Every structure is written in C-alpha cells, then in structure tokens.
Structure 1
C-alpha cells in the first residue's frame, strides 16, 4: 500500500470518529503530517481524502494557499519596491501578509455552507515559508473553526511539536496529528 493511502486510511479513521462539540478550537485542528517530498503525489490524491470525509457524513471545503504570497504581492501597493529591494520585505509588511493569510483562512472557515460537520482542508502550508509561520496563521484563525480544520502539513512532528519543512524550530500545539501509521521524526 502506498504512503498516501496509509495517510488516507489514518485520516478516515479520524474523520469517522464521533466529533465532540465541546472541545477547544485548537482541538478541532488536525494536522496531516507527511514528508515534504510527497507533496505533489498527495495533492494528486486529495480527492481520496474528500471522498472519505463525505463517505463519513461530513461536508468538505478546501483552500489552497500555494499562491497566496503571489496574490498578496499583486495587491500590495509597495510590490514594485519589494521587487526592487527585497530586504524591505520584513517587519510590518510581513505582518500585513499574516493578516492577509489569516483573513483568507477565516473566510473559508466561516463561508456559507460550512457548519459543525464540515471539514475545511488547507493545502499549500509549505508556501507560507519563509514569509510567515503556519503556527501563527493557524492560531490566529482557530477561533473560527466550526467543524474541523485539516491542515496538510509537509514536515514532521514528535509528540505535540510540529516542524513545517524542518525549516524552523517547531511549535508545541494541541492539534490532532494524522500520519500514515508511523510517527514522523
């Protein structure tokens, strides 16, 4: 069986469990953790995850953040200056990016049709690096989670510590990890 199908099986086991309604927003977040090099294969099989969620009685909404930095730059009034002098792209400018991504995620979490039985699946978390931290975006938007927020997370976890792309120190988070039957290192 392929790694993707192992992860899909683990996702299905999680999505089939009864969903508790009286849990904190952080506990409504699931991180599907996988090796970064299988990102394209996982994306090609995303329909498998959607099918399993729907088969388990849950609606599915997905949000792809892969292009979010380019979208933000295209709208930014100082985009030309950032291209001319990339070192200007720091501090408050990147705080604006955090807000942009958080607003995009919050809009998906609160969109029409999303309810307590909906999976909102986020792809493209790796594209946030190095401009912002996935942890910052997730924590900023978690209060808007109604059903479950499922973040496809290319990286590793150990215990409750998550590392996106192994690029930075990890962050300790109470999300439910979903792996392909093996603990990521």
Structure 2
C-alpha cells in the first residue's frame, strides 16, 4: 500500500505543479494492488478537479464491448473466441488498439492543455500493447497522458499483467 501511495503522491505532485507538461506518464504498480490503486487514483482525479486543473477522464472499462457492439460483432467475437480462433484474436487486438488511440486523440482534439487521465486500463488486457499505443500517438497530441499500468518492470521491459508489453516506451515511469 505504501508503494501505491508513494506513486500516487508523485503523480499528484507532478500534475498539480505542472512539473510534467506534455508527454506520457506510466504509473506502474503491482497488479495485485489494483483495487487500492483505483481508490487512490480516483482521489487524485477528484483533487485535480477541485484544484481547477483541466482534465479529461478516459474510461476504458467497456471499450472492447462497445467497439464490438457498435460494429454488430459482439456475438460473433464471443463465438470465435470460444473456438480459439487466432485470426479473431489478432483482429480484436487490432480493433482495440485503434479504438484506444482514437479515444485518446478525440479527447485531445482542440484542447492541448487538458490532462488526459486513463482509467480501467486493465480492462484492455490482453488486447492492447501500451508501447504500441504510445508510439501511435507520439507527435500527434501534446497533452499530458496518464496511463495506469498494472504490471512489473524488468529493466527496460514492462510486463502488463504478466505479459511482455514492450520496452521502447516514450513515457516517463512513475
């Protein structure tokens, strides 16, 4: 719990003081601390709002289902996933990656000063690579982007919920 508090305090400090303007911040925390992290992160969000900081909260909790439902693919995706179709998994991962990038770009559009705070990033497991997401938005937004990252660090490599996510991150790590 102390590790989570330390990370959230550092995040809070950087966002309130403007010490980290622009770019991405990965807040890396142990996956088993997900509930503690969520509670503390919500407090940070409420404090930023109370302080008048311009923020946009991007909730990824239902992104996968909403994207499939919008395309009338939800039932088909369930069926193909149950069959273990590797093509379906690749297609779904590609869809989720594109939709997450689009959600971030849409929130940033027209307001480069708003801090983009992602929520429920674990809900995108195993369909997303955050290193690929950061690469896709690099140079396209100037906002500060905060990504909670339930995972572990192993040198330059990060593991998102136990799966290697990449190592070429264009983000500061907290």
TM-score interval w.r.t. the shorter chain?
A: 0.7 to 0.9
Is 2:79 aligned against 1:84? yes
Gaps of 5+ in 1: 22-27, 179-185
Q: Is the 8 A contact 1:62 1:121 kept in 2?
A: yes
Question: What residue in structure 1 maps to residue 103 of structure 2?
Answer: 104
Hey, what does 1:14 align to over in structure 2?
14
Q: Partner residue of 2:27? A: 32
Distance change >3 Å, CA 162–CA 52, structure 1 → 2:
farther
Matches of residues 1-185 of structure 1 in structure 2 within 5 Å? 2-15=2-15, 16-19=17-20, 28-53=23-48, 58-86=53-81, 87=85, 88-110=87-109, 114-116=111-113, 118-168=114-164, 170-178=166-174
8 A Cα contact 2:97 2:133, kept in partner:
yes
Q: Is the 8 A contact 2:21 2:144 kept in 1?
A: no
How far apart, in 2, do the equivalents of 1:176 and 1:55 lie? 25
In the alignment, the residues of structure 2 paired with residue 37 and residue 85 of structure 1 have an alpha-carbon distance, to the nearest angstrom, of 30
Cα distance change on mapping 1:168 and 1:119 into 2, 3 Å = same
Q: Mind listing any 5+ residue stretches in structure 2 that lack a counterpart? A: none
Counterpart Cα distance in 1 of 2:138 and 2:169: 12
* CA RMSD across the alignment: 2.7
RCO higher in structure (CA 8 A, sep ≥6): 1
